[in-house]
Each structure stands twice: as structure tokens, then as C-alpha cells.
A and B are shown apart, each in its own frame.
Chain A
Amino acid sequence: MADRTANVTWTGSLMEGSGTIQSVDSGAFGPLDVSWAARTEDHEGLTSPEELIAAAHAACFSMALSNDLAQAGSPPDRLETSATVTFVPGTGITKSALTVRGLVPGMDEAAFVEAAEGAKENCPVSKALASVPEITLDASLL
């Protein structure tokens, strides 16, 4: 079992106030500022819940895919993954789009795409985001 905790503070109103992701369990990041304006308009260098979800999804997918490729006998030299999360205020998070390019010795494109589809279906963050209306994948070899 793995628990991970993050601590966030907020001061003032939603529109004019601002928050800070003060710290996380691992100590890997923080403080990182957040604000409603930066979340919904120009990011101005500030992260947002949607960017953090994109980071979690891309990281989880990459691990799952590298594991699946290794189990298939073709461990990757390199995977380059992007996740793009779309948020529509009032509606919610509507999409996470994964793009992966892989350098995988001894594997053909069709097998890579199939492995990537499997990782998209089964990585724990994909499962946690199962109610997102659209999760897409664009996979190809480098």
C-alpha cells in the first residue's frame, strides 16, 4: 500500500485569493502557487489541478507501459509521453489525451501500439480517471 499526502493553503476569496501547494510527503516539490485566474486563464507560470492530473497520468501510463514492454521481452530504451487534460468550468474535466513515442529495440509498431493501448486501459491513474468522458491515445515508435 502506498499513501501520498499533499498540503495546500488558501488565503482570501476564490477570484482574488491565492493558494499554495505548501509541501508533499516526499519533499519532491513545493511550495507551488496556484490561483483561479492562473487555472482558468493564462497560467503565468503557475501549476493547476489539471496540470498535476496530466503529470500523474503521464507518469503512471509510462510506468505501466515500460512494465508491459519488459514483460513482453522488449524493454524500452526510452518513452516520451505527454498528457493533456482539458477542463471546462461548470462541466468538469472532459478529456485526457495521451501521446507516447517509444524507442523499443526489437518491437514493431503494431505490437507497440497494442501494448500502449493496454497500459492506457490498465494503469492505476487511468482506472481512477475512468469517469473522464474521453481518454485518447496516440502511440508510435520513435
Chain B
Amino acid sequence: MPRIVREAHVSWEGTAARGSGVVSASSSGAFELPFTIASRIGNPEGKTSPEELLAAAHASCFVTSLGGELARAGTPPQHLDVHCTITMDEVEGKGHRIVSSAIAARGTASGADAATFAQAAEAADAGCPFSALIKASATVTINATLEGGT
């Protein structure tokens, strides 16, 4: 079984409150992004955060699973559009926790009806490795809409 390994690097200077970091994609080199605690908790001010990176991870993981499930059902997608919102909240007695990930998926797939699309979205949620992981500690919701379907 192939093991796929991906690495990221962070360089952080100073305290959490006043310091700042840079997170970079060590494997691919695809990004190098500054972040701070203020922009993580408050207004992003153009900076990313761990939660935003997780939202991008979940959306990109889910979209590939959904594409795979639609193809398996004999209704390959033409176009899929997935939004993911990750919410971090302060949980009493536990501090900051990632409490939910909300997926909204829309798309077109030849031959699919609304029920097929919804079923594929459910299967994609079950099959997406990130969904499987985060469900142990947070609520995952999936909202799937077939565009131009019957």
C-alpha cells in the first residue's frame, strides 16, 4: 500500500499574543503564508489561519471523494463547487476547540438526479479521510445541491 507523505513548515517568532509566523508548503512549495493570533481569532486581515487551512483541506478532500462517488454511480460530474466553513469556538472548560465543519456542495453530473447526487454526497462524506477524522471531535454537516437536475 503506498504511503503518501506531505510536509509543511512553520517559522514562528515571539509570543503568541505579539508574535507572528509563516507557514509554508514544504512538499510542493505551493504556498508561503504569514499568520498571527489576532488574525486567527479576529478579523483575518488578509492572513490565513489553521482553521482556514483545514477548511481548504476538507473542501479539497471532499470534492475528490464526491467526484469519485459520482463516477462510481455512473454519473460522472462535469463541474463541482464545494464550500467548507470550519468554526473554532471557546468551549466551556476545554478552551478553544474546532467545533464544526460545514460543507456546501453544488454541481452538475450527467444523468444524475437529485437523489443520486445526495447519495453520492453522503458516500463522499463517509469516504473522505478528513471527514472521517474530524467527525470524532466536531460536527460535520453536508448540504448537497444538484444544479440543473431533474
* Chain A residues proximal to chain B, CB less than 8 Å: 1-14, 17, 19, 21, 24-29, 32, 34, 36, 38-40, 43-64, 66-67, 69-70, 75-94, 122, 124-125, 127-132
Contact = CB atoms under 8 A, between A and B. Distances in A.
Given A2-B40, A9-B79, A127-B97, 9 more contacts: A26-B39, A45-B29, A51-B7, A58-B10, A76-B12, A80-B10, A93-B129, A125-B50, A131-B136
Interface stretch (B87-95, B111-119, B142-150): B87-95
A29 B31 contact: yes
A61 B26 CA distance: 17
A32 B33 CA distance: 13
B25 to A, nearest CB: 5
Interface size on B, as a range, is 35 or more
B87 A1 contact: yes
Contacts of A82: 7-10, 26
Contacts of B31: 29, 32, 47, 55
A62 to B, nearest CB: 4
Interface of B: 1-17, 19, 21, 23-31, 33-35, 37, 39-42, 44-61, 63-64, 66-68, 71, 76-90, 95-98, 107, 129-130, 132-138
B114 to A, nearest CB: 19
Given A3-B86, A6-B52, A57-B50, A50 B4 contact: yes
B137 A127 contact: yes
Contact of A127 (B3, B8, B98): B98
A117 B60 CA distance: 30
B16 A66 contact: yes
A84 B7 CA distance: 4
